[in-house]
Structure formats: structure tokens, C-alpha cells
Structure 1
Amino acid sequence: MDTPAAAPYNPGMVPARPLPFIKMHGLGNDFVVLDAREQPVPLDAAAIRLLGDRRRGIGFDQMITIEPSDKADAFMRIHNADGSEVESCGNAARCIGALLMRETGHDSVSIDTLGGWLEAKSGAEGRITVDMGEPRFDWQAIPLARAMDTVTLDYAHAGYDRPGAVNVGNPHVVFFVADALAVPLAEIGPKIECDPLFPQRINVEFAQVVDRSHIRMRVWERGAGITRACGTGACATLAAAARRGLAERKAEIMLDGGPLLIEWAANNRIYMTGPATEAFRGEIPPSFWAALETA
């Protein structure tokens, strides 16, 4: 299926009206959701960073803007807390899918993103399953700075080596380790993220294979840092592990925030199942943005 064209985005302003928002999370990976389907919400990187500040703003790992789409039920735009725009977010896809299904009364919805077209479906016990599409393994699709076998990269940092690489709408590098909790993630995560081998920066996972159906994983997200969960990271970890023969093509990925069920199906598509939680709703007053003038 062709990836739908992205909606236009015009940054550089802040709203002069109260701005409604929804705070949501997927296993602790938290989002501020803005609805721009009827009226644009153009925020530049400085405004996004202020909103994402956990002391001066609302705080989030990613800001999600729901925009109109003529190819899907909605377009999902994703910005990290540092203001950078990214292609895909699995936990956010479950959250936006849950919102759209509640809004429409349907049990499935389609979501357009920069990383590709997604479909979300409702499941048992309030869980949401998202078709995350087909993983890509070519070195140029990750992308890497030079040709390399992505099953096992010829790369090492701080004693951690031979990771796998995969693009699941955004780029990931997955290191397999004996103890995921022992990895000094805050120290080495940002260095690997910005290594010259990864020209668009990269999401970094450290995965401990408990058995062929259970993997413990921790993540350093590009532009967000350590997060309690990463849906695309869980998908990438399962794909990387299965390619190396370390796990089955269906497994539970245990994140800091809880488990996701990931299946790399026979049709080559990856399906992610997990919860989507709404925390609260509110409004951002126009006076909030005055802080940008003194920042």
C-alpha cells in the first residue's frame, strides 16, 4: 500500500486562544495530544520544548497533533520533547487509535503518519492492536552512513557490540545483552543516538532474551531520552531477535512500563498489542506562551 502524503505544516506561531489538550500514555510513554483537524495548531520547536518541559509546561515524551487526512481517518504528527519531528510512534498510534475509535464508534481506524500508513483495532480488555507495517532491513533504509549487514552490525560502543538494525517507520539499533538493567543507558544512549554511523540519529534498545517468547528491553529514544516504553522499539527488538534466531516471531517484550505483545506475522507485517490510557484533559491558556519571550 502506498504511504499517504503528509499534511502541510506551518510553524512559527502560538495560539491566541485556549488550546484544549488530552494527556495520554502507553505503558508510561506519555503524550500531549492536540486536535488540529478543524483549526491548525502551528507550534515551532521552541513552543514544543516549553510545552514538553516537565517543570514549566505539561511535560511529555512526544507531542501528538491530530490533523485531517484524505487517505485515512486522521494524520498523526509526532514531535519529541526536544522539538524534533519524527516519523512514527507505536504507543502513540495505540492512543490515537483509541481516541478515534471512541469518537467514531468503529472497532478499527486508519492512521496516516510520516512513517507510513497504520491500522488500529480494538481488542480484549481495552487493548489496542496496531498493524505497524513491514520492517525494513536494507542499510540505506535504516539509514546507515555506509553499507553494512544489518543482522549484525560491525559496530561497538563502550563494550556493547554487534547490534542489529531495523527501520519500523523510524530507525532502531538493538543490542543484545545479558542484563538489560545493568546497562548505563543514560550515559551511553545519547552517544550512540548521535554516532556518525546514524545520519538521522537513531533509537537505541538494549534487549535481554529471557526465553524465546520473552524479552526484557530498555530504550533510549531519539530526541526524548529514556522512556518507560517504546512501541516501535519493541517491534524492532522482536524483528532483530527473530532474524538472529534468538526468539520466535511472536513474543512478549517487557519494557520499564510493562509488556507489549509483538508478532512478526507470516505476511511480513508486525502487529503490536497493548494498552492506551487517557490520564486527563485540560486547556493551555494564551498567557502560557508568554514565557517564550523571556526564555
Structure 2
Amino acid sequence: MDLTFYKYQGTGNDFVVLDNREQNIQLSQEQVAFLCDRRKGIGADGLMLLQEKEGYDFEMVYYNADGRVGSMCGNGGRCLVAFAQFLGVVEDQAYFIASDGPHKAFLKDGLVHLQMKDVDEVEDLATATFMNTGSPHYVKQVEALQDLDVFQEGRAIRYSGRFKAEGTNVNFVEHLSENKLFVRTYERGVEDETFSCGTGVTACALAASRAGYKSPVHIQVLGGELQVSFEQEGQSFRNVFLIGPALQVFKGEISL
């Protein structure tokens, strides 16, 4: 099977993207993992299919780098919106369905504004916060984040007793001045640190609001800068938007 693919990245979180509107692409777990392999395949943090879906502009189907079907990916969603615009499926607004439900998005001044799911439950743990922003996220505040071994520390939490079976993404956040955070994330499915995690920075911004951070929160990640805007209603969050760039890197062909 010959595939035409596109490579997209959003603040260093990179994806193999395929146009599957004709429903002619069927990939096994092993094939997805091969395509995402950085030494033997194309290389990516995940793979996405853009598909037609009645009632929506398109459907987002997301796979983790290990080849398994993944939960919602915020940066992936932003990249797929940019891809849909590139294909002419949408203009400057989109309404699509993903694994965690419907999403709205719009493109403005070179940035993709992606509406994330509402968050009604925030769990306080002994030394961290846990919530689901489309994917499960463990958020821990630390000092001197640049020097932290995110792979080892994140892996230890991801495979700890509570999270081992289903896994969790693990975010380490350093509070900076002027309503800004520095975030590094260990992602399940990739099983490594990534340059950016959209649902992760969303969780970090919402957690920081409880420490007095105001919308929009600015987030520095290894791959660039993102923003998260939201409305807080008691312990719940509404109109949550993940905002940042989404760029096409290249187009290619590969044989499976």
C-alpha cells in the first residue's frame, strides 16, 4: 500500500497526518507504530486520520506513537484543523468530532484556537492535581524544572500503582512571573517526554488558576509557546481554548 502523508507540528509536538475522506486507509497497530518510528519510519508523536462524519466538518481519529488508538490530543487537534483548512474542508472555522466529543475551532492571525472539553472534576492528590482535559493528566508543581529528569520522574508516576493499568500523562510545571508557566510533559503512548502536550498544558493552566493565575495563561514548552483561555465557574471550567501555531512541515509518500 502506498500512502501520501503530511507531517505537521504544533510547538514541537509532531504528527503524521493522512487524508482518509475516501475511507480507503486501514492501518494495523504495527503499521502505525512503524510510521511513527523515528529511526525506521517517518517519525512522529502520533498519527491522525481526517475522515468524513455526518453532522461535522470532519472526524479526527488519533493514534499514539505505539500504534494504539489514543484519547484526545490538543496539539493534534489544532494541527488537524490546519490540515482541514489546507485541504479546503474548512475556511477559518471548524466543527469536528474527536474521541472525547465535539470540538469547535477557529483560525486567526496564524494561530489555531481549539475549544477543549469542559472540566468539572479536579482531584487534589497529596502533592499534585489530577484531571481529565480530554486525556488524563497528573500535574505537579516543581522548582528548577529545566534540570528535572522528566523521563525518569514521569515514567515512575505513569507506571505507579494507581495509573499503571490505563496510564496517565505526567506534567511538571514551574510557576513563572507575569501569569506564565513553564511545562514539561511525559506522555503515555509515546512513553517519553515530548516537546509539547496540548491537553497537558491545558490541565496545567486550569490547575494554576487555583493559585491565582488569570485567563489567558501563557505557557512555555520545549517547542515554543501556547496560551490557554477559560472561564471559571466555581470548581468547573467552561469555554476552555488551547491557542497556538500549527504548521505543515512536509509532504511525502511511503510504501507499507
Normalising to structure 2: TM-score of the pair?
0.92
Q: Return the structure number with greater strand share.
A: 2
Where 2:176 maps in the other structure, the secondary structure is strand
Deviation of 1:192 (Å): 1.2
Partner of 1:49: 33
Partner of 1:190: 155
For 1:192 and 1:220, the matched residues in 2 are separated by 10
Asked if 1 retains the 8 angstrom alpha-carbon contact of 2:182 and 2:219, the reply is yes
Partner of 1:173: 138
Where 1:93 maps in the other structure, the secondary structure is helix
Matching residue's letter, 1:169: G
Where 2:204 maps in the other structure, the secondary structure is helix
Partner of 1:220: 186
Deviation of 1:100 (Å): 1.5
Where 2:175 maps in the other structure, the secondary structure is strand
Asked if 2 retains the 8 angstrom alpha-carbon contact of 1:212 and 1:246, the reply is no
Matching residue's letter, 1:92: G
Partner of 2:104: 119
Q: Quick one: percent identity of the two aligned structures?
A: 31
Normalising to structure 1: TM-score of the pair?
0.81
For 1:36 and 1:257, the matched residues in 2 are separated by 28
Matching residue's letter, 2:140: F
**Is 1:110 aligned to 2:95, yes or no?**
yes
Q: How many residues of Structure 1 are paired with residues of Structure 2 in the alignment? A: 249
For 1:97 and 1:238, the matched residues in 2 are separated by 22
For 1:136 and 1:37, the matched residues in 2 are separated by 34
- Larger Rg, first or second structure (1 or 2): 1
Deviation of 1:120 (Å): 1.3
Deviation of 1:110 (Å): 1.1
Task: Spell out, residue by residue over 1:20-54, the C-alpha distance to the aligned partner (whole angstroms, 9 max, x if none).
Answer: 10000001100000111103311111111111111
Where 1:265 maps in the other structure, the secondary structure is strand
Matching residue's letter, 1:206: F
Instruction: Between the two structures, name the one with larger relative contact order (CA 8 Å, sep ≥ 6).
Output: 2
Where 1:104 maps in the other structure, the secondary structure is coil
Asked if 1 retains the 8 angstrom alpha-carbon contact of 2:115 and 2:241, the reply is yes
Asked if 1 retains the 8 angstrom alpha-carbon contact of 2:57 and 2:89, the reply is no
Task: Check 1:87–1:136 CA distance in 2 against 1; reply closer, same or farther (3 A cut).
Answer: farther
Asked if 2 retains the 8 angstrom alpha-carbon contact of 1:136 and 1:168, the reply is no
Map 1:38-187 to 2 at 5 A.
38-102=22-86, 103-104=88-89, 106-124=91-109, 126-137=110-121, 150=123, 152-154=124-126, 162-187=127-152
The two structures, once aligned, show a CA RMSD in angstroms of: 1.5
For 1:254 and 1:215, the matched residues in 2 are separated by 6
Structure 1 runs of 4+ with >3 Å offset: none
Give the counterpart of 1:236 among 195, 199, 203: 203
Partner of 1:6: none
The gaps in structure 2 that reach 5 residues or longer are none
Deviation of 1:246 (Å): 4.3
